[in-house]
C-alpha cells in the first residue's frame, strides 16, 4: 500500500447541480401546457438571475435569509392580531412593569446607591453586574432595559397558532435587536466606560478608535486578527511530532510518534469536523489531547481535512465518508493489521463517524473496537438555537450563496455562530476593545478559532438537508451506497461527551444517543462550552463532570432526571475517558513508528492540508 495511488474523486461538473429539464407528454385537453426548449432556457435564465440576486443579498445579511425571518414575523403578527385576549394581557403586563419601574425610579432618586431591584438579570447575563450599574441613573437604565426585554419575551412566545419554529425565530431575532440596543453598548449609558474615559482622560476612546480601524482594515484585506502572528501551525500550535502517512484528494492522515516504549494494542483514530482545523485537539503542548493520549500509551492517528476550493464544489457527504473516515480506517489497519480501532469523532466529525460506523456494521466489517463522540449529534430535532437558521427558506438561501463560489466560507458561517452568543462574542468584545480601548491578548484556542475553513457546496447542502433539516439519520432514511444506514446497527461500545453550555450541540440533544443506540453507552457531561469544555486538560479546578453507563438492561432516564441523579466529579474528563479506553483495550505491544514499515511517510506533521488558507 506504500505505492497506492491517491484516491481519485468522482467529481461531477457544476451543471450536474442545475435543475434537470423536464420532459412532459403532449398536452391532453384540460391538461397543463407542456414545456418546450424555449421555456426551459427561460427557466434556466430565471434561476440564474434569482441565484445571483440571493447571492448579493447574502453578502449584506451575513448569510441569513430575510424571507425566512419575515415569514416567521408574519406568522406571529397575524396570530397576535387575531388574539385580543392576549393583546389585553400584554397591555396589562406593560402597565405593571411601568408602575414597577416608576416605583423603582422614585426609590433610586431617594436612595441613589442601591434600592432593591425590581428585576434580576438572567444568570448568564453579565452586562450589569458591576458596582457602577448600582448607582443612579444607570441602575434605572438597566432595570428599564431588563423589564423591556422580559416584556418582549412574553410578547413573542405563547401566542396560540404560531408555528413552533416561527415562534423561536421571532423570539431570537427580537432578543438580538434588543441586545444591540442595550445601554451597556453605548458610551454615555455605560457607567464603567464613563469611569474609564474620565480616568484615562479620553485616551481609551482614542485607543478604541485605532483598534476599530485596524480590525476593519484587516477584515477588508482578509487578514487574520491582531495577535495571530504569534501563533504558527507547526511552530507554536500542532507541534506534536508525527508523520503524514497517507494522503488523498480530501484528507491527510497523521500518525504521531510514540512517547512510550510500550503502547496499547488498539490504536486511536480521531475524526475532527471538516468545519474546523484538526489541531484544536493538538493546540499548545499543555492543551493537547493528542499528547495526553500518547503519554498514556496510545498510538494516535488524526485526519486533517483539505480546505476545499471552487473546484471541489461537487464533493458530497458520501465522499467525506468514503475518502475521509473509511479511507483513514483502511490506512490505519494497513499500518496495524489484525487490530480493531478506537475511533473518536468531534462535532460534525462525530456525526460522520456515526454514519460510517452504521455502514460498516451493516456490511459486517468488524473494524471498530469502540466509538467516542465529542459534542456530536445524531438527532437534530432539538439542536438548540442553531436550528433557527436551518429551514427550507434558509437552506435554499445558503445554497444560492454557495452557488457562485462553489463553497461556503467560514467567515460567512461565523455570523450565525456569533449570534448564538452575541452578548459574549459580539457586544461585550466591542465594548471592551472599542469603548474601553483594551485588547485581550490572543490565546491558542482563539487563534485556532480564527483559522477558518470552507465547506464545499454539495456536501454542505447534503448535510443540511439530509441530517439537519430532514433528520434522515435518526429516523432511518439516510442511505449510504444505496442502502439504509441505521443507528441501531451500531454494536460497539460508545462513549459520548457533551458540555453543559454548548450552543452548537446542546447536551440534551446529544443525550438522545441513550435512546437511539442499541448498545452500551457511557454518557459524560462536563462543564464548559462546545470547544473549551472538550479542550479541558487536567489541572483546571473549575471543571467537573457527571458520567454514567447505560446497558440494554437499564431503564431509560430522561436528561433532567439523569442530571439530578448523577453526582459531579471534580476535574477534567480526560482521565475518565482514558480509563474507559483502557477497559476496552486488549493489552500492550512494542511502540510503533509512523508508517510501521507498511506505508512510507510523506512529510512531517502537521502536513500540508492544515496550512491551506
Is 215 inside a domain boundary?
Answer: no
Identify the domain boundary among 185, 214, 231: 185
Cell of 411: 467567515
Task: Label residue 420 by pLDDT band (50, 70, 90).
Answer: low
256: number of Cβ within 10 Å? 23
Same-domain pairing of 469 and 329: yes
User: Is-contact 533 526, C-beta < 8 A?
Assistant: yes
User: What is the pLDDT at residue 111?
Assistant: 77
Q: Is 570 helix (H, G, I), strand (E, B) or coil?
A: strand
Q: Residue 245 in contact with residue 599, Cβ under 8 Å?
A: yes
Same-domain check for residues 168 and 274: no
Same-domain pairing of 179 and 246: no
Residue 539 has pLDDT above 60, yes or no: yes
Q: Is the pLDDT of residue 355 over 80?
A: yes
Of 185, 210, 228, which marks where a domain is finished? 185
Please give the mean pLDDT across all residues of the chain.
87
Half-sphere exposure of 588 (CA within 13 A, CB side): 10
Under DSSP, is residue 312 helix (H, G, I), strand (E, B) or coil? helix
Predicted confidence (pLDDT) at residue 12 exceeds the cutoff of 60: no
Both 159 and 280 in a single domain? Answer: no
Position 388 confidence tier, pLDDT thresholds 50, 70, 90: confident
Mind listing the pLDDT tens digit for each residue in 25-81?
444 444 444 456 666 666 666 766 766 666 666 656 655 677 778 889 999 999 999
pLDDT of residue 357: 97
Least confident of 181-185, 292-296, 385-389, 471-475: 385-389
Tell the burial category of 262 from Cβ atoms under 10 Å away from its Cβ (0-12, 13-18, 19+).
exposed
C-alpha cell at 262: 510500550
**Interval 311-331 mean pLDDT:** 95
d(C-alpha 84, C-alpha 355), whole Å? 49
Q: Is 603 a catalytic residue?
A: no
pLDDT over 70 at 560, yes or no = yes
* Rounded Cα–Cα distance for residues 110 and 404 (Å): 63
Q: What is the pLDDT of residue 19?
A: 37
User: Distance between CA atoms of 601 and 609, rounded to whole angstroms?
Assistant: 15
Q: Are 336 and 592 in contact (CB under 8 A)?
A: yes
Instruction: Give the confidence band of 229 by pLDDT, cuts at 50, 70, 90.
Output: confident
- Whether the pLDDT of residue 18 is over 50: the answer is no
Please, what's the b/e burial string for 543-582 (b: 16 or more CB within 10 A of its CB; e: otherwise)?
bbbbbeebeeeeeebebeebbeebeebebbbbebbbebbe
CB 458 within 8 A of CB 215: no
Residue 535: pLDDT band with limits 50, 70, 90: very high
Closest CA to 365 of 527, 492, 512: 492
- The answer to whether 77 and 69 have CB atoms below 8 angstroms apart is no
- The alpha carbon dihedral of 39, 41, 42, 47 has a sign of positive
More confident residue, 69 or 484: 484
Residues 180 and 251 in one domain: no
Task: Tell me if 386 is assigned to some domain.
Answer: yes
Band (pLDDT 50/70/90 cuts) for residue 22 is very low
In a shared domain, residues 247 and 396: yes
- pLDDT of 342: 98
Q: Quick one: 560 and 462 in the same domain?
A: yes
Same domain, 278 and 164: no
Beta bridge partners, 544, equal 570
Q: Among residues 114, 117, 118, 347, which one is catalytic?
A: 347
Helix, strand, or coil (residue 97): helix
Identify whether 232 is part of a domain.
Answer: no
329 within 8 A of 340, measured Cβ to Cβ: no
Residue carrying C-alpha cell 463532570: 545
Confidence band of 415 (pLDDT split at 50, 70, 90):
low
Place of cell 397558532: 161
Domain count for the chain, please give it.
Answer: 2
- The reply to whether 287 falls in a domain is yes
- Using the predicted structure, report yes or no on whether residue 540 has a pLDDT greater than 60: yes
184's grid cell: 451597556
For residue 522, name the pLDDT band (cuts at 50, 70, 90): very high
Note whether 507 and 409 are same-domain residues.
yes
CA 583/CA 308 separation, integer angstroms: 39
What is the phi/psi pair of residue 588, to 5°? Answer: -125, 155
Take residue 388 and report the three cell numbers written for it. 433557527
How far apart, in whole angstroms, are the C-alpha atoms of residue 558 and residue 74?
35
Q: Does residue 218 register a pLDDT over 70?
A: yes
CATH of the domain at 350: 3.40.50.1820
- Out of 308-312, 327-331, 465-469, the most confident range is 327-331
Q: What per-residue confidence (pLDDT) applies to 56?
A: 61
pLDDT range class, residue 3, cuts 50, 70, 90: very low
- Reduced to 3 states (helix: H, G, I; strand: E, B; else coil), residue 43 is helix
Examine the domain organization and report whether 162 and 283 are in the same domain: no
| 537 belongs to a structural domain | yes
Say yes or no to pLDDT of 456 above 60: yes
Lowest mean pLDDT among 37-46, 147-156, 362-371: 37-46
- Is the pLDDT score of 7 beyond 80? no
pLDDT of residue 195 exceeding 70, the answer is yes
The pairs formed by 31-37 with CB atoms below 8 angstroms and a separation of 24 or more are none
Does residue 210 form part of some domain?
no
Is pLDDT above 70 for 107? yes
Quote the pLDDT of residue 31.
46
> Does residue 229 form part of some domain?
no
Give residue 152's domain range: 69-185
**Is 359 a residue whose pLDDT tops 50?**
yes
Are residues 329 and 453 both part of a single domain?
yes
Cα separation, 159 vs 173, in Å, equals 16
pLDDT at 26: 44
CA separation for the pair 550, 36 (Å, rounded): 60
Handedness of CA 380, 383, 389, 393 (dihedral sign): positive
Whether residues 159 and 276 share a domain: the answer is: no
CA atoms of 455 and 409, how far apart (whole Å): 7
Residue 329 within a domain: yes
| Greater pLDDT, 426 or 502 | 502
* Percentage of the chain lying above the pLDDT 90 cut: 65
Instruction: Look at residues 145, 164, 185 and tell me which one is the last residue of a structural domain.
Output: 185
65-92, pLDDT tens digit by residue?
Answer: 777 788 899 999 999 999 999 999 999 9
Amino acid at each position: 500500500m506504500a505505492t497506492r495511488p491517491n484516491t481519485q474523486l468522482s467529481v461531477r461538473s457544476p451543471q450536474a447541480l442545475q435543475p434537470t429539464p423536464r420532459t412532459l407528454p403532449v398536452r391532453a385537453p384540460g391538461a397543463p401546457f407542456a414545456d418546450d426548449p424555449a421555456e426551459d432556457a427561460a427557466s434556466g435564465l430565471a434561476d440564474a438571475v434569482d441565484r445571483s440576486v440571493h447571492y448579493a443579498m447574502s453578502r449584506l445579511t451575513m448569510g441569513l435569509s430575510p424571507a425566512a425571518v419575515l415569514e416567521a414575523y408574519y406568522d406571529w403578527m397575524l396570530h397576535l392580531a387575531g388574539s385580543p385576549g392576549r393583546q389585553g394581557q400584554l397591555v396589562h403586563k406593560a402597565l405593571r412593569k411601568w408602575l414597577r419601574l416608576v416605583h423603582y425610579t422614585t426609590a433610586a432618586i431617594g436612595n441613589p446607591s442601591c434600592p432593591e431591584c425590581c428585576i434580576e438579570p438572567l444568570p448568564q447575563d453579565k452586562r450589569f453586574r458591576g458596582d457602577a450599574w448600582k448607582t443612579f441613573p444607570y441602575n434605572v437604565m438597566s432595570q428599564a432595559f431588563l423589564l423591556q426585554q422580559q416584556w418582549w419575551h412574553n410578547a413573542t412566545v405563547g401566542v396560540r397558532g404560531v408555528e413552533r419554529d416561527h415562534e423561536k425565530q421571532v423570539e431570537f431575532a427580537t432578543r438580538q435587536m434588543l441586545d444591540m440596543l442595550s445601554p451597556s453598548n453605548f458610551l454615555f449609558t455605560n457607567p464603567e466606560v464613563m469611569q474609564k474615559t474620565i480616568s484615562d482622560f479620553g485616551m481609551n476612546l482614542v485607543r478604541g478608535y485605532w483598534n476599530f480601524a485596524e480590525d476593519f482594515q484587516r477584515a477588508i484585506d482578509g487578514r487574520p486578527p491582531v495577535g495571530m502572528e504569534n501563533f504558527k501551525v507547526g511552530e507554536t500550535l500542532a507541534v506534536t511530532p508525527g508523520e503524514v502517512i497517507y494522503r488523498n484528494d480530501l484528507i491527510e492522515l497523521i500518525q504521531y510518534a510514540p512517547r512510550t516504549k510500550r503502547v496499547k494494542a488498539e490504536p486511536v483514530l480521531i475524526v475532527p469536523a471538516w468545519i474546523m482545523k484538526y489541531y484544536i485537539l493538538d493546540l499548545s503542548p499543555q492543551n493537547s489531547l493528542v499528547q495526553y493520549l500518547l503519554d498514556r500509551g496510545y498510538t494516535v492517528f488524526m485526519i486533517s481535512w483539505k480546505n476545499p476550493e471552487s473546484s471541489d464544489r461537487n464533493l458530497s457527504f458520501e465522499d467525506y465518508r468514503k475518502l475521509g473516515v473509511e479511507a483513514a480506517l483502511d490506512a490505519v489497519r494497513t499500518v496495524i493489521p489484525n487490530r480493531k480501532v478506537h475511533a473518536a469523532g468531534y462535532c460534525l466529525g462525530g456525526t460522520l463517524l456515526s454514519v460510517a460506523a452504521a455502514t460498516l456494521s451493516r456490511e459486517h466489517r468488524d473494524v471498530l473496537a469502540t466509538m467516542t463522540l465529542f459534542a456530536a449529534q445524531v438527532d437534530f430535532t432539538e439542536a438548540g438555537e442553531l436550528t433557527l437558521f436551518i429551514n427550507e427558506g434558509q437552506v435554499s438561501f445558503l445554497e444560492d450563496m454557495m452557488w457562485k463560489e462553489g463553497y461556503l466560507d467560514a467567515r460567512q458561517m461565523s455570523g450565525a455562530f456569533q449570534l448564538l452568543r452575541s452578548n459574549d462574542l459580539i457586544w461585550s468584545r466591542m465594548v471592551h476593545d472599542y469603548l474601553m480601548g483594551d485588547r485581550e491578548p490572543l490565546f491558542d484556542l482563539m487563534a485556532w478559532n480564527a483559522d477558518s475553513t470552507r465547506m464545499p457546496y454539495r456536501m454542505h447542502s447534503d448535510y443540511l438537508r439530509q441530517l439537519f433539516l430532514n433528520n434522515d439519520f435518526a429516523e432511518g432514511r439516510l442511505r449510504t451506497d444505496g442502502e439504509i444506514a441505521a443507528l441501531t446497527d451500531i454494536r460497539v461500545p460508545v462513549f459520548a461527551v457533551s458540555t453543559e453550555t454548548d450552543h452548537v450541540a446542546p447536551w440534551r440533544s446529544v443525550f438522545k444517543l441513550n435512546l437511539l443506540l442499541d448498545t452500551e453507552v457511557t454518557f459524560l457531561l462536563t462543564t464548559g462550552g462546545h470547544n473549551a469544555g472538550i479542550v479541558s486538560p487536567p489541572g483546571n479546578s473549575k471543571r467537573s463532570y457527571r458520567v454514567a453507563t447505560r446497558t440494554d438492561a437499564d431503564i431509560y432516564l430522561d436528561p433532567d432526571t439523569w442530571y439530578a441523579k448523577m453526582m459531579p466529579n471534580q476535574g477534567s474528563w480526560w482521565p475518565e475517558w482514558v480509563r474507559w479506553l483502557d477497559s476496552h483495550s486488549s493489552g500492550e505491544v512494542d511502540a510503533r513508528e509512523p508508517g510501521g514499515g507498511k506505508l512510507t511517510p510523506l512529510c512531517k506533521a502537521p502536513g500540508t492540508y492544515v496550512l491551506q488558507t
